[in-house]
Structure 1
Amino acid sequence: MIRVKALAVIVRPADGALLVCEGADGSVAGYARTPGGSVEFGELAGEAVHREILEELGAELWSASLVAVLEHRFV
């Protein structure tokens, strides 16, 4: 199965801090990741980021730009 994800890297200008979301994976520490999620069929990556930020944080992005594309293939 192919899963396409779009994640946002949001930096606070004042000090360069990154916005992360906490999650639970069964470990004691859990994990942190940048906000975002799966790209739906027919959706552009930028649209997915805007939608995921609204869903996860209840916030709207005013402007965003593509910084990089990372491709990971796991077998």
Structure 2
Amino acid sequence: MTGSPPTLNLVGAGRVGRTLAALWQAAGVFRLGDVLTRSPLSAQAAVAALGAGRPVSEPAAMRPAEVWLLATPDGALADS
């Protein structure tokens, strides 16, 4: 792979989202971009735990990315 890896935006940073983001970032598959969760505090905690990314508090604040991971419970998608 040449150049920098594609950017991954993460929506939902529970166990699955954090684990996949951490593994992919460590392997150089993706570079973590924005992280959106239900609360700003949990987005900040996820970014701190992952050591990368930018916490955001609403979808409109998210920057463009090549890849988006929606790692939310099924019910959360219907709520939005």
TM-score, normalised relative to structure 1: 0.30
Give 1 or 2 for the bigger CA radius of gyration. Answer: 1
Question: Which of the two has greater strand per residue?
Answer: 2
TM-score, normalised relative to structure 2: 0.28
